[in-house]
Chains A and B, each alone.
Chain A
């Protein structure tokens, strides 16, 4: 085609403008559709839960059926403990295997890891729970915080591995080479250059996986089980917010329904705060704009 063949006629321009506007509106509608449920959930939970929120909610233990009031202090602490155990297992294992897969990607073993993480990330969390039951609960002889944390950690591993791998692969080759050419070992290069450059993305991935496991219910049902009382012990059953919300939500008592909403609200709020904190931590110290 010669340049002369291309005609910039008005008709063509008109058509392109209309098409452009059409596509743009479709994109806008899609964007709104994807945000709408999130906003709806957020506001609905806030609206339904806020009335049950008071100091007692954070300081009191659950009350038996029939008594009014009470709170979820034990569940909040329990969730924090479970998520911490899960993170202690899931984050290091996930990051290290992510590094391994990304940086040493040309051997059979790393391909196996890749395959296994893919499969693992598709396994329903309840099955991970059964696995944890078999491995930890049965060997330790009872439900425990450790078993719950273990299950959450296993669920975190594939997400963390995958994000780490993907973020590391985004780091330009020339940065790696710059470091290696200075006589820095491969391992230190991975850790201090590649990982550091990719840290923002990796932290975001970790955060998402924490947010995900913080709301996991199924794998906790037969690992950490639940506990009406405050427990800090790793070898005892422990309460958690999702499990308590679940139990309250399926109960026939109006009072408990309210508490369940309040719990859901707090859970969402915690995740929201977590996001803000990470954004703050990972803001680019060296962006040219500041």
Chain B
């Protein structure tokens, strides 16, 4: 019970600190379904995600975690024969009211495999969001690069070689560079699809620490196959199974006293 109160308190604190508007929820989905052709990948998902919290999505492979995540920044637009139904509210506005570019400026994404732009330097990668779309930031590029690299805990490792190619970095460093690139455009929500599954334990730890520190500034949703990770980094956890949202609750509660039998079986390793 104490844990639950903790989360509540933290949330209220953050709201006060940031002076944000009254809205508690960063993302609300209502009956969200995604079909690829005739096949339903996720079915009638109802999810409310609070601002400045970390939510993890867990579930066996193929249950639709990535599909759910990618519908939140309209990434499905690229896939042919994809049908998205239901409603999604992002920061109190219906997703259809956004211009897709504006939406993606607000909802950043970090991918499973580190994917820095290979023909750009470290420096250029951080500001690539501006450079590629031709937008002008309010601060100087130098400031952005320094701030975001410090924020993503990469600055000390790369400050002497900012003009080196990004692909000369290690996998873990590349992933932190991708995080820096994402926060450079000041998103409010960050979606992470198995951001550490390709990384070694040490890099994983660094990124988990980042996620923890990020809570003050961003709302984070992270897909993970690692239940310890979910337990470590998130305030809330959603458990999905074959396209359904089975259970969604405070992480501590879901991992200690799950209400649904299926959840219990999954987190105790009976299947999956």
Residues of chain A at the chain B interface (Cβ within 8 Å): 106, 172, 174-185, 188-189, 192-193, 196-197, 285-286, 288
CB of B133 within 8 Å of the partner chain: yes
A183, A188, A288: the one contacting B185 at CB < 8 Å is A183
Q: Mark B163-195, 1 if CB is under 8 A from A, else 0.
A: 001011000000000100110010000000000
Interfacial chain B residues near A178, Cβ < 8 Å: 111, 115-117, 178
Identity of the chain B residue whose Cβ is nearest the Cβ of A182 in the assembled complex: B129
Shortest CB-to-CB span from A167 to chain B, Å, is: 14
CA distance A178 to B191 in the complex (A): 12
7 smallest beta-carbon distances between A and B, as pairs: A286-B165, A183-B104, A181-B109, A182-B129, A183-B105, A106-B80, A184-B132
If A174-B111, A193-B117, A196-B119 touch, does A179 touch B167 (CB 8 Å cutoff)? no
Interfacial chain B residues near A183, Cβ < 8 Å: 101-105, 129, 133, 185
B115, B129, B134, B167: the one contacting A174 at CB < 8 Å is B115
B134, B168, B182: the one contacting A288 at CB < 8 Å is B168
B101, B103, B109: the one contacting A185 at CB < 8 Å is B101
CA distance A286 to B119 in the complex (A): 6
B75 touches A180 (CB 8 A): yes
CB of B78 within 8 Å of the partner chain: yes
If A106-B80, A188-B132, A192-B132 touch, does A182 touch B108 (CB 8 Å cutoff)? yes
B133 touches A184 (CB 8 A): yes
CA distance A184 to B104 in the complex (A): 8
CA distance A225 to B80 in the complex (A): 49
Interfacial chain A residues near B121, Cβ < 8 Å: 286
If A183-B185, A184-B133, A288-B165 touch, does A175 touch B115 (CB 8 Å cutoff)? yes
Identity of the chain A residue whose Cβ is nearest the Cβ of B116 in the assembled complex: A178
